[in-house]
């Protein structure tokens, strides 16, 4: 019992610490890595409750596939943006959010502790968990007998998800959304986490050789020319294809 | 010194705390990706309590439901990230507050 308690406390601390990291850290990559910690902690708790197969697919599907997908999208979209917290589109949204979260947590804990340790309900309604058969065999038997309809519907759901992902991630055919549609600008201003060194105003204050600066300026101008030439070629191609 | 016994109430309290943290994050964060991660936290909290109930009721059904929740979470993440990529391609740097064209 003492070992079980120790496992629970350590895994629970990892789970809660990772969850707090997901909510509080600023960098999306750090959020994703904290999520991995939480998912591993939950997998350990599954093992502690004798759900070995679920622990395995928790690690493989969640940590191995879903978090990697998150990281792919974060890297695809760029990580150099942080949320600014100066202006709330909804007044006092953060305070109300924290209060609501605390309310959910405190209320459910109070209900659980007041309810005592006995679970009401019929025991072993589907099939006994304390069967001698291995974990996967028990789960598979239930999945293909009692839950076979849900299993088939799950297959349809996965097919729909795959088709939806393909349709959504095709190249858009319309023009990009015009900023004129949003005359007030974005609801939240973004601040670059790693600002482009060329944009820094204090660059001019540095003690640089005038010749070197001029050369750098020439290079930049040359780059701009080639880029605009590329753009022109691309738009010409687009015209031809239309 | 009283011996603390690890009952399923401990697991359920931990799941409640995890769910509350996920709900708080969903309410206070603006980055759509991080909001998605908070939804994953809440789903994991529910999974944890399902497994705890499965053990205390000695029933395989709870574990089967966790299996389905995992599949639905995977499908949800695939479609959700597809939507996020589609939005970001047209409006780089959009947050959840910017996606308000259909606001009533």
- Cα separation, A94 vs A23, whole angstroms: 12
**What mean pLDDT comes out for the span A180-193?**
59
Model pLDDT, residue A162 = 92
- The 3 state secondary structure assigned to A166-225 is HHHCCCCCCCCCCHHHCCCCCCCCEEECCCCHHHCHHHHHCCCCHHHHHHHHHHHHHHHH
Q: Which tens digit of pLDDT belongs to each residue from A61-114?
A: 988 889 999 999 888 887 666 565 556 677 788 889 899 999 999 998 888 888
Q: Is the pLDDT of residue A237 over 70?
A: no
On the question of pLDDT at A200 being above 80, the answer is no
- pTM comes to 0.76
Asked if residue A190 has pLDDT above 60, the reply is: no
- The string of pLDDT tens digits covering residues A121-147 is 778 777 777 777 788 888 898 999 999
Q: Which residues of A touch B91 (CB under 8 A)?
A: 176-177
Answer whether residue A193 shows pLDDT above 70. Answer: no
Nearest to A36 by CA among A17, A8, A9, A10: A17
Binding-face residues of B in 39-58 toward A, CB within 8 A: 40-41, 44, 47-48, 51-58
Query: Would you give the DSSP letter of residue A95?
Result: H
Residue B8 pLDDT: 83
**CB contacts, 8 Å: B97 with chain A:** 89, 187-188
Contact A70 B77 (CB under 8 A): yes
CA dihedral A49, A51, A54, A60 (to 10 degrees): 80
A152 and chain B: CB distance < 8 Å anywhere? Answer: no
Question: Which residue from A minimizes the CA distance to B3?
Answer: A2
CB within 8 Å of B51: residues ≥ 6 apart: A45, A46, A49, A51, A54, B11, B62, B63, B66
The answer to whether residue B94 neighbours chain A at the CB level (below 8 Å) is yes
pLDDT of residue A228: 47
In angstroms, the CA A219 to CA A197 distance is 15
> What is the pLDDT confidence band of residue B7, given thresholds at 50, 70 and 90?
confident
pLDDT tens track for B33-54: 899 999 999 999 999 999 999 9
């Amino acid at each position: 019992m003492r070992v079980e308690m120790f496992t629970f406390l350590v895994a629970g601390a990892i789970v809660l610490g990772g969850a707090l990291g997901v909510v509080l850290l600023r960098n999306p990559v750090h959020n994703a890595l904290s999520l991995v910690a939480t998912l591993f902690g939950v997998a350990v708790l599954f093992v502690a409750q004798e759900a070995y197969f679920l622990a395995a697919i928790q690690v493989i599907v969640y940590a191995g596939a879903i978090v990697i997908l998150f990281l792919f999208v974060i890297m695809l979209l760029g990580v150099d943006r942080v949320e600014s917290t100066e202006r709330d589109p909804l007044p006092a949204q953060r305070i109300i959010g924290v209060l609501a979260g605390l309310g959910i947590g405190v209320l459910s804990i109070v209900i659980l502790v007041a309810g005592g340790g006995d679970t009401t309900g019929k025991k072993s309604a589907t099939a006994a968990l304390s069967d001698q058969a291995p974990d996967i065999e028990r789960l598979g038997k239930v999945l293909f007998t009692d839950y076979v309809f849900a299993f088939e519907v799950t297959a349809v759901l996965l097919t729909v998800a795959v088709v939806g992902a393909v349709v959504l991630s095709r190249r858009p055919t319309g023009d990009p959304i015009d900023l004129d549609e949003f005359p007030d600008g974005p609801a939240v201003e973004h601040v670059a986490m790693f600002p482009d060194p060329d944009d820094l105003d204090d660059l001019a204050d540095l003690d640089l050789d005038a010749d070197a600066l001029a050369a750098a300026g020439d290079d930049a101008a040359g780059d701009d020319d080639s880029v605009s030439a590329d753009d022109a070629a691309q738009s010409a191609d687009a015209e031809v294809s239309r | 010194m009283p011996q603390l016994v690890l009952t399923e109430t401990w697991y359920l309290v931990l799941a409640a705390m995890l769910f509350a943290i996920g709900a708080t994050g969903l309410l206070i964060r603006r980055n759509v990706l991080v909001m998605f991660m908070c939804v994953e936290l809440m789903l994991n909290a529910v999974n944890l309590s399902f497994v705890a109930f499965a053990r205390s009721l000695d029933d395989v059904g709870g574990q089967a439901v966790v299996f389905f929740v995992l599949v639905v979470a995977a499908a949800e993440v695939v479609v959700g990230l597809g939507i996020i990529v589609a939005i970001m391609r047209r409006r780089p740097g959009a947050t959840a507050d910017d996606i308000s064209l259909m606001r009533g």
